[in-house]
Structure 1
Amino acid sequence: MAHLSHGNDALLARVRRIGGQVGAVERAMQCDSSCAEILQLVAAVRGAVNGLLDEIIADHLQAHVAHPALSDAERAQGAEDLLAVIRRYAK
């Protein structure tokens, strides 16, 4: 995904924050935290991952589907790649 290189540092920072959130879930489970607390932590992780996915999808659309310099074949491939991800996510 070379097109992500322009914002790679910001995306990597988001991934690291998500990793920290996942670690918080693990620690909460090891410390016998309440179900409500663990659910809140898991919901926060899910929201963070969804936000990351949204940003990468938007970048993919701009670079691999909507970019005016793309050929029809490149657009079709970009759309096919995105559709595969959406189908996997929707399961």
Structure 2
Amino acid sequence: MPRTAEDKHRAITRLRRIRGQAEALERAVEAGHGYAPVLQQLAALRGAVHGLMADLLDSHLRETLAQQPAPSPQAVDETLALLRSYLK
């Protein structure tokens, strides 16, 4: 998880933006908007989630793999599992 106050603030800001996008998407579906605007909002939501995932993954990799003198085999395995799930 984000460690610094700035990183936490940035993650929370992204999460709030994602929540707003999800709510807008729900309203668009309820209102019966056409496919194009709904798909565009869905793509924006997906991009926002991927951006948050990339930021958190970056922080995790820096914290885990930057250990001195070297990361443990368990830390490497956990990181590889995260990468595999992220790349699906």
Map of 1:40 onto structure 2: 40
- Residues 27 and 5 (structure 1), Cα distance of their counterparts in 2 relative to 1, 3 Å cut: same
1:70 shift after superposition: 5.4
Q: Deviation per CA, 1:32-58, whole angstroms, max 9, x where unpaired?
A: 011000000000011111111111111
Residue of 79, 85, 88 corresponding to 1:88: 85
Letter in 1 for 2:15: V
Specify the SS of the correspondent of 2:3: helix
TM-score, with normalisation over the residues of structure 2? 0.84
Identity fraction in percent: 36
1:5 maps to which residue?
3
Aligned-residue Cα RMSD (Å) equals: 1.6
TM-score, normalisation: structure 1? 0.82
Runs of 5+ consecutive residues of structure 1 not aligned to the other structure: none
Aligned-partner Cα distance in 1 for 2:42–2:23 = 11
Partners in 2 of 1:83 and 1:60 — Cα distance?
12
Ranked by relative contact order (alpha carbons within 8 Å, sequence separation 6 or more), the top structure is 2
Query: 1:64–1:70: 8 Å Cα contact kept in structure 2?
Result: no
Equivalent residues, number: 86
